[in-house]
Chains A and B, each alone.
Chain A
Amino acid sequence: MLTCKQITELVSDYVEKRLPLWDRMRFEMHVGMCKHCREYLRQMKLTVRALGEIPAEPPPPEVRDELLRRFRDWKKK
């Protein structure tokens, strides 16, 4: 039986689907029975998904204009 502490170290490999079959089974067995580790796993997945939601601001107009100017120079080459 894996301990909760071990679960917190294996969780990323689990999410990455990189645990060998036997470890994955032991991981899922533990999480199936332990609500704290279920919550930990849920938080980890939420954290990862939240990272994917960080917005990228559109570039400032002057930066965009400068790059387009460079594009025109490049075209002339």
Chain B
Amino acid sequence: MLQIALLLLTCGLSRYMWSVNTSVARVIISFTVLGTLFYIGIVVAGTSLYECPFQTPASIGLRYLRDSGMARKILARLSPSNAIQLIYASQKITRRLVVKMFGPSNIISFMYTTWMDTRQGFVSTFHHIYDIMRYPFSRETPLSCIVTSIHRISTKVGYQIIITLLRIGLAIGDATQRLVQEIRRLRPAVLLPVTTEDAHHQPRVITVNHSTSRKVRHQIIITLLRIDRVIGNVKQRLVQEILRFRHVALLPVTAKDAHHQPRVHRNGPGLRVYVQNLEALQRQNDDNARCVYWILRKITDPEAIDSDIRLAGTIRWFDGDSNHNPPYDSIVSTFKTCFDSAKQLYPGMRDRAYFSARAILQINVRARAQSHEYASKYSVPPIPWSSFKHTDPDLHHVLHMLKRNSGTHGPILRFPRGDTNTHAHSLWMSNLFMDLTRVAPNPTLKSYKSYLSAAVTDHRPVIANILLLWYMFLGGHVEEETLWAIDKSYAVVLLSLLSGWLMFCTPAIH
């Protein structure tokens, strides 16, 4: 029952995915077919050999049928001429289908056709069972009905197995035949017996042994070349398929620069903190941007959305090669759903409200860095004072920042308190201040007490960020690389938590 349930699940998943995205569905179908074939192989092996270590309930049942002579009785009803005709007909149909549709080298397509035929067989069988269940008394007796249905099912299953095995054999035979034909076609051109001339210009024929060994060597070389070419073709097609797959269906891909030019860095006497893994950080940022963009449009799972919004608050948007606009409207609407009609926080929605507020701030600040058009496009929504009720210090502070930086307010840096706000929040906020100060060099500083308390807590990354802020306030120029060098520990922690889910959800990220 478990195995049937699994099969039905994969069938349903394949069917559903085919309606959503054919490319993804192809992958799922391929895996399903492979699994089914493997299972069938195990069943066949388990049925034929008692010593086979892989015994399944189906193989035990089939072996019982075989040993009890029931199978012989069933097969005896088939006349040899009918069986041969059936086999030949199936061979022809299969060959025609395989050659016409996919070609002999596409094993996935072959398996797919096999699977579809098998599926059709199963569907008709299930229809039959359904008919029996629906009209149990249309036959003479229930017992005879059950026996008849088992008989038919076993016959159909047996046919399917035979057809599948024949197809496999046919494909192998076909491939071998083609290989032999190819070799024969090439042999006259390449492997003709060669004659040499002696010193007296008298032609002589090379000995048979010598010529045979040369032929064998050439055969080996040709075969190796062919194998290499086939592998190369398969690899190329696979790469093309994957690229097409990524382009069309799953995630947008950053196109590689044709000239392999490095990123342009601003040169100047600015403060530069060297980053060893800058390129990796930038790549990761681009991947994260694509991931957030994709998930918020394709996935409806609340946990996935929460994780995605959490990630959105750590991305340097509109930076690097990625030119994807952030899903700002989705994030804003998610943020708004955390509050009731009186604009008070729903119980249990703290995390979602906090991280979506962070994401809004992050996107807004990054948009300000681009242009006025972007700044107005990604403006901070109005935050009523009632939203501040029943909030913890971190959420309270981030809401304060949203309120202070919404509408026509200029950039205001309100420092988090070192004794009540968490280190992660303070670090994230100091990173935001860096970007905000870079965008608008005349921000207003608020909360002097909190500002000094950051120094008292001795959280080095926060202190480094505040010192960088002062460096910019005092007229210093900070290189772009330095902004990437800011401690990303909060993002790393989040990514490690998210990695498992993201690997499952977006296999093309890496």
Q: Are A and B bound to each other?
A: no
Residues of A within 8 A of B (CB): none
Residues of B within 8 A of A (CB): none
